[in-house]
Each structure stands twice: as C-alpha cells, then as structure tokens.
Structure 1
Amino acid sequence: MKYTLKKLATLIVSLLITSVLTFTAFQIIPGDSALNALGMDATKEQLERYREEMGLNKSLPVRYINWLKGALKGDFGYSTQYQMQMKVSTLIKNRLTVTFWLAVMSFLLIVVISIPLGIFAAGKKNGIPDSFITLITQIFMSVPPFFLGMLITLIFGIILKWFTPGSYINPGENFGQFLRFMIFPAIAVAVPKIAMTVKFLRSSLLREMELDYVRTAKSKGMTKARILIRHILKNALIPVITFLAMMLADILAGAILVEQVFNLPGLGRLLVSSISNRDYAVVQAIILYIVSVVIIINFIVDLIYQWIDPRVKRD
C-alpha cells in the first residue's frame, strides 16, 4: 500500500507539473490569440471584447488556475480553426475514438503475435526456426509504419480490393465495417513493433536462461518447456512490459503518418492541422493528453511490476 501511495503521489505531482509547463509554453509564444481567432479585419473593440470574454486580460497565474479548473472538468475552451467555434473537448472526443480503436487493435496484434513468437524463437535458439524469425524481424524492424501502410494500401486496397483506400467509415454508421477498415492501419502500426518486441523478448529470455536458478531447476529434473514457461518467462517479462507500455503510449499519442496514409480522422491529424492553423487551445489539450497518457501508463506499469515480481524494491 505504501508503494502504491508513493507512486500515486508521484503521478499527481507529475501531472501537475506537466499542466503548468503545457499552459505556460503556449502563453509565451509570440502572437495575439484574439487576433488569431478574429482575423486581421477585427476592430480594436472586438479584440478587447474577445480578450475580456476569454479571460486573456487577466494575469498568467489566474489564467492558469481557470484553465486547470476547466481541464479537470474536461473543458479546454473553444477551437479557433473553424468558422463556427467548436469546443476543444468535442473535437478531441470525436478524434479520440479513432485513435483509441487503432491503439487497441494494434496492441492486441502486438501481444498476441510477438509473445508466442519470442518464446518459440528463444526455445529454438540457433535453430532454423530461430534464424528465420530473426531474419524476418530484422527486415520488418527497418520498415517505417507509414511505408508499410502504403504497401498495404497498394496490395490489399488497390490490387486485391479488400478495402477501398481512403474510405473511412464512421463507427456510428457501421461498426463492423469500421473495424474491418481499421484492421489494415492497425497492421501497419503493429508489424514493426511486433518485430521489435519479438527481438526484445527473445534476448530477455536468453539472458534469463543463463542464470543459476535455471541450472538448479534443470538439476531437479524439470523439463525445458516447464522451466521456460513457469520460471524464466515471468522474470523475462518485466523489461518487456516496459517496452510494451511505451509502445502503447506511442500509439495512443496518435500514429500521425499512418493516419495520413489511410485518411483516418484521428488525434494525430487533428494535432497537425491545429499546429498549421495556430489553434493553440487544441494543441494545448492534445499535448496535455499525450503526456498524461505516458505518465499514467508508467504508473500502471509500476503497479504491474509489483504484481509480477514482489521483490521489486518498495522504498
């Protein structure tokens, strides 16, 4: 319990510091937010009225506190890149659905494929299957997800016609067709990460196999498969969990280039368009989301460490 409370306190402090840095960074950027929102034709009175309504004429600490109160309620203000101002929270909520499902499907592919392959490769060390898996992982590790997405679009979309490139289907309209379309960008995101995870897990397992407790287990007559599954895997998974957590955070942050290739209205594309249009309210919210996801996932990983291996230091 003490360990959990300590990690929880660290989580809260980290999120607070992140919010301060995120807010301050966009307040010191040169430029007039009122002018960006209303345009060059706005009168002085209109600009002053806008600053009054948005609280831009208040001191920095007061603006931060008001912004933080809103952020805690999920209210990040209004976007300025649309003719009819739209709430930032609504924009992010709509785009987050796409990024969430892309992350879930990609992560499931990574876990379901990479862990069995990594175990199999380690169990067949230096054999033909191991050499073949190592070769394949080396190839796919070097392929960027966006390029793989282009190949998938060419082969499965244009040649085989398994899907129509660029024909994104809203999950509210047809959820089954939405998932069917999303599997292709999920594969593009997952394949390079599967290759990295297989290589990382294989190395971690082989490292554990050289330790004394493995030789002790062998001397007691335990089979190689039983030692691998019941003892080695548990210890080897600890560094792999960190690796998987960082990949999940990366996907949740928005696979920007893959979203561009498949024309997905996800969080990554929203971030790019908001930066281009100097829509700082949206950029602020997305950056806070990305950093918060990384911090929260690290917190969850720390708790999982304790569950897998109680020997992890608690001080």
Structure 2
Amino acid sequence: MKYTVKKCITLILSLFLASVLTFTAFQIIPGDSALNALGMDATEEQLKAYREHFGLNDSLPTRYINWLKGALKGDFGYSSQYQMQIKVSTLIKDRLTVTLWLAGLSFLLIVVVSIPLGILSARKKDSILDSFITLVTQVFMSVPSFFLAMILTLVFGILLKWFTPGNYTPLDENFGNFLRFMIFPAIAIAIPKIAMMVKFLRSALLKEMQLDYVRTAKSKGMTNIRILFQHVLKNALIPVITFLAMLLADILAGTILVEQVFNLPGLGRLLVASIANRDYAVVQAIILYIVSVVIIINFLVDLIYQWIDPRLRSN
C-alpha cells in the first residue's frame, strides 16, 4: 500500500510538472497569439477584444491556472487554424481514435510475434535457426518505420493492390476496410520493434538460464522446457515488461512519419499541420498528451512490478 501511494504521489507531481513546462514553453515563444489567430488583417479593436476574451492580458500564473482547469476537463480552447470555430479537444478526439487503433494493432503484433520468436531463439541457442533469427532481427532493427511504410505501400499497395494507398476508410463507415488498411501501417511500426524485442527477450532468458536455480532445477530432473516456462520466463518478465512499456510509449508518441506515408488522419498529421500553421493551442495539447502517456505508462509499469515482485512492496 505504501509503495502504491508513493507512486501515485510521484505520478501526480510528474503530471503537474509536465503541465507547467508545456504551458510555459508556449508562453515564451515569440509572436502574438491574437495576431496568429485573427490574421494580419485584424484591426486593433479585434485584437484587443480577442486578448480580453481569452485572458491573454492576465498574469502568467492566472493564465496557467485557467488553462489547467480547462485541460482537466478536456478543454484546451479553440484552434486558430479554423477561425476559432473548432475546439482543440474536438480535433484531437477525431484523430485520437486512429492513433490509438494504430498503436494497439502495432503493440499486439509486437507481443504476438516477438515473444514466441524470442523464446524459440533462446531455446535454440547457437543453432542455425537462432543464427537466422538473429540475422533477420539485426537487419530489421536498423530499418526505420517510415522506410518500411514506403516499401509496404509499394509492394502491397501499388504492385499487389491489396489496398489503395491513401484511400483511408473511417472506422464508422466500414470496419473491415478500416482494419485492412490499418494493418499495413501497424506492420511498418511493429517490425523494427519486434526485432528489438526478440533480441532483448533472448538476452534476458539466456541470462536467467545461467543462474544457480536453473542448475538446481536440472539436477532435480526437471526438463528444460518446464524450467523455461515455470521459472525462467517469469523471472525474466520484469526487464521485458520495462522494454515493452518503452515500446508502447514510443508507439503512442511517435507514429507521425508513418501516418504521413499512409495519409492517416491521426494525431501525427494533426501535429505536423498545427506546427506548420503555428496553431499553438493544438500543438500544446498534443505535446501534453504525449508526455502524459509516457508518464502514465511508467506508473503502470511500476504497479505491475509490484504485482510480479512482492519484494518491492517493502520499499
């Protein structure tokens, strides 16, 4: 209980600090928010009214408190890119579904493919199969996701015509077509991560298999497979979970280039467009989302540690 309370306090403080840094960073950027929103043709009266309406004349602490109150309710103000007609929360909500589906499919592929391959590679250490898996993972680890996205688009989109490049189908229109299109960007994101995960899991398992308790279990007549699945795999879970959490945070925060290649209307494309249009309210909200995702995932990993290893509860 003490461990959980301590981690919850750390989570709250981390999120608070992240919000302060995110807000402050965009307040010191040169430029006039009112001018960016209304355009160069705005009159002085319009600019004054805008600043008054959105509290831009208030002190920095007051603006932060008002912004934080809105953020806690999911209200980040209005986007200047659309003449103040669309809320930032609406823009993000429309695109968050795409990004979450893409991240979820990618993570599912990573877990389903990498864990069996990592176990197989460790079991067949120094065999031809192990050498082949190691070679393939080394190659794919060095290939960036956006390049794989281009290759997948060329091979499966243009040559084999399994999908139409750029022809994204929304989830609420046709789930089958949506899933068929989304699987390819998910594969592009997952392949390098699968390669890293296989190598990491293999190393973790081989390290555990060299410990004394494994030799003791063998001396008692236990088979290698039983030792692997009953003891070694469980003990190797903590570093593996850490790595998986890092991969998940990276996926949720870094799908920008792949979304661009596949023309997906996710948060990545929205972030690029908002930066290009100096739509700071949207950029601010997305950055806060990215930072919060990383912090919350690390918090959840710490709780999983406690569940797997009860010794942490005494810390």
What corresponds to 2:123 in structure 1? 123
Give, in angstroms, the shift of residue 8 of structure 1.
0.6
Instruction: Quote the Cα distance in structure 2 between the aligned partners of 1:284 and 1:314.
Output: 39
Instruction: Quote the Cα distance in structure 2 between the aligned partners of 1:311 and 1:141.
Output: 35
1:222 is paired with a residue whose SS is: coil
Instruction: Quote the Cα distance in structure 1 between the aligned partners of 2:50 and 2:91.
Output: 21
> Unaligned 5+ residue runs, structure 1?
none
What corresponds to 1:102 in structure 2? 102
Q: Conserved in 1, the CA contact under 8 Å of 2:37 and 2:83? A: no
Give, in angstroms, the shift of residue 64 of structure 1.
0.4
What corresponds to 1:75 in structure 2? 75
Instruction: Quote the Cα distance in structure 1 between the aligned partners of 2:84 and 2:169.
Output: 25
Give, in angstroms, the shift of residue 266 of structure 1.
0.6
Q: Conserved in 1, the CA contact under 8 Å of 2:38 and 2:83? A: no
What corresponds to 1:57 in structure 2? 57
Amino acid at match of 1:133: I
Q: Conserved in 2, the CA contact under 8 Å of 1:253 and 1:267? A: no
What corresponds to 1:207 in structure 2? 207
What corresponds to 2:271 in structure 1? 271
Amino-acid identity (%): 81
What corresponds to 2:155 in structure 1? 155
Instruction: Quote the Cα distance in structure 1 between the aligned partners of 2:165 and 2:39.
Output: 36
Q: How does the TM-score come out when normalised to structure 1?
A: 0.98
Instruction: Quote the Cα distance in structure 2 between the aligned partners of 1:250 and 1:233.
Output: 24
What corresponds to 1:261 in structure 2? 261
Amino acid at match of 2:69: K
What corresponds to 2:93 in structure 1? 93
Instruction: Quote the Cα distance in structure 1 between the aligned partners of 2:314 and 2:195.
Output: 33
Q: How does the TM-score come out when normalised to structure 2?
A: 0.98
Instruction: Quote the Cα distance in structure 1 between the aligned partners of 2:309 and 2:110.
Output: 23
What corresponds to 1:32 in structure 2? 32
Relative to structure 1, is the Cα distance of residues 84 and 9 closer, same or farther in structure 2, using a 3 angstrom cutoff? Answer: closer
Q: Conserved in 2, the CA contact under 8 Å of 1:99 and 1:254? A: no
Instruction: Quote the Cα distance in structure 2 between the aligned partners of 1:51 and 1:299.
Output: 38
Instruction: Quote the Cα distance in structure 2 between the aligned partners of 1:2 and 1:90.
Output: 39
Instruction: Quote the Cα distance in structure 2 between the aligned partners of 1:117 and 1:313.
Output: 33
Instruction: Quote the Cα distance in structure 2 between the aligned partners of 1:200 and 1:253.
Output: 21
What corresponds to 1:5 in structure 2? 5
1:311 is paired with a residue whose SS is: helix
Give, in angstroms, the shift of residue 314 of structure 1.
3.8
What corresponds to 1:308 in structure 2? 308
Give, in angstroms, the shift of residue 307 of structure 1.
1.3
> Following superposition, which runs of at least 4 residues in structure 1 exceed 4 angstroms of deviation?
none
> Unaligned 5+ residue runs, structure 2?
none
Amino acid at match of 2:134: T
2:310 is paired with a residue whose SS is: coil
Give, in angstroms, the shift of residue 313 of structure 1.
6.1
What corresponds to 1:235 in structure 2? 235
Q: How many pairs are equivalent?
A: 315
**CA RMSD after TM alignment:** 0.9
Instruction: Quote the Cα distance in structure 1 between the aligned partners of 2:83 and 2:167.
Output: 26
Give, in angstroms, the shift of residue 240 of structure 1.
1.2
Q: Conserved in 2, the CA contact under 8 Å of 1:19 and 1:288? A: yes
Amino acid at match of 1:98: V
Which whole-Å deviations, capped at 9, do the CAs of 1:204-259 have from their partners, x for residues lacking one?
A: 11111111111111111111001111111111121111111111111111411100
Instruction: Quote the Cα distance in structure 2 between the aligned partners of 1:248 and 1:267.
Output: 16
